[in-house]
Amino acid sequence: MLLLVGLGNPGPKYAQNRHNIGFLAVDEIVRRHGFGPWRARFQGQASEGRMGTQKILVLKPETYMNESGRAAGEALRFYKLEPDEVFVFYDEIDLAPAKLRVKLGGGTAGHNGLRSLSAHIGPDFWRIRLGVGHPGRKELVQRHVLSDFTKAEWPAMEKLIDAVAAELPKLLGGDDGSFMSRVAHLTSPPTPKPAPKADKPEGGDGEAASQSKDTEAGHGL
């Protein structure tokens, strides 16, 4: 059993907030992989499914962001999981919008959801950091994360969420490097190389030049 936790705040008021990208990510995971319906469990909404032979529980805590650890801790204890069997999806202001990073363990970097999780299950869980950008000044951070994605931002964020859901089996299978590489490729595909230019005929080929002129003149008839 693996536990996937999306962080966010419950209710329609917050549904499209940058702070709720964790909820949006796990919603797409459940939809894409055909998991079961959401139902009330562990102080949140939970859905069950499988990826390969691995059983998965997806959880959206309804304790609000600052108490996310209460819900995750209850699920972890029920299934007797270790922290490194928990994967947490959340907004990261220190990453550019639509960028992604993954790591196991670490600090909280001022994120109240991570602080609560660390208090309830310890720091050694997987962090799937979904970039939402920084507003530029510390005093603007709260308003930034509790505001909706703009129309200009949303297409890139939607592409990130789709890529995370599509490539998730790689991460859950232990290949976090391949997961990050594939998500980066899908969200920022490499620019195609320009086609090589054809070699120009050498100027000394008088016959070819003459034929070209004759052809051009013929088109004028």
Catalytic residue numbers, as ranges: 19
- Alpha-carbon distance 178 to 196, whole Å? 31
Structure tokens at 213: 């002129």
Q: Are 159 and 149 in contact (CB under 8 A)?
A: no
Tokens coding 38: 């959401």
- Please give the structure tokens belonging to residue 215: 């052809």
User: Alpha helices, DSSP H only, in the chain?
Assistant: 21-32, 68-79, 112-121, 141-145, 154-172, 176-187, 206-219
Q: Given the structure tokens 């999780």, which residue do they identify?
A: 117
